[in-house]
Amino acid sequence: MLMVFVRAAVMYVIVMITMRLMGKRMIGQLQPFELAVAMLMADLAAAPLSDLGTPLLYGIVPMFALLFTHSVITVLSCKLPSLRRIVSGKPAVLIKDGVIDYDEMVRQCYSINDLMEALRAAGQLDVSQVGTAILETNGQLSAFPDSKYRPANTSELHISPDPESVPTVLMLDGRADDENLALLGRDGRWLRDQLATFNLPAERTLICTLDRMGNLYAQDYTGASYKKRALTKEQAKV
The H or E element containing residue 92 is: strand 92-96
Domain boundary among 62, 86, 110: 86
Domain boundary among 86, 107, 124: 86
pLDDT at 161 over 90: no
Claim to verify: residue 79 and residue 97 sit in the same structural domain: no
- Rounded average pLDDT over 184-195: 92
| 42 domain residue, yes or no | yes
Distance CA 38, CA 15 (A): 10
Percent of the chain surpassing pLDDT 90? 39
- Rounded average pLDDT over 82-109: 89
| 130 domain residue, yes or no | yes
Q: How far is CA 82 from CA 63, 76, 79, 188, 208, in A?
A: 27, 10, 9, 54, 48
Claim to verify: residue 20 and residue 46 sit in the same structural domain: yes
| 18 domain residue, yes or no | yes
| 132 domain residue, yes or no | yes
pLDDT of the residue at 25: 55
Claim to verify: residue 55 and residue 80 sit in the same structural domain: yes
Name the residue range of residue 122's domain.
Answer: 92-145
Distance CA 168, CA 238 (A): 8
Chain mean pLDDT for the chain: 84
CATH number of the domain within which 208 lies: 3.30.240.20
Question: How many independent structural domains does the chain possess?
Answer: 3
pLDDT at 68 over 70: yes
**What pTM value is reported for the model?**
0.61
Looking at per-residue confidence, does 124 or 41 come out higher? 124
Claim to verify: residue 101 and residue 140 sit in the same structural domain: yes
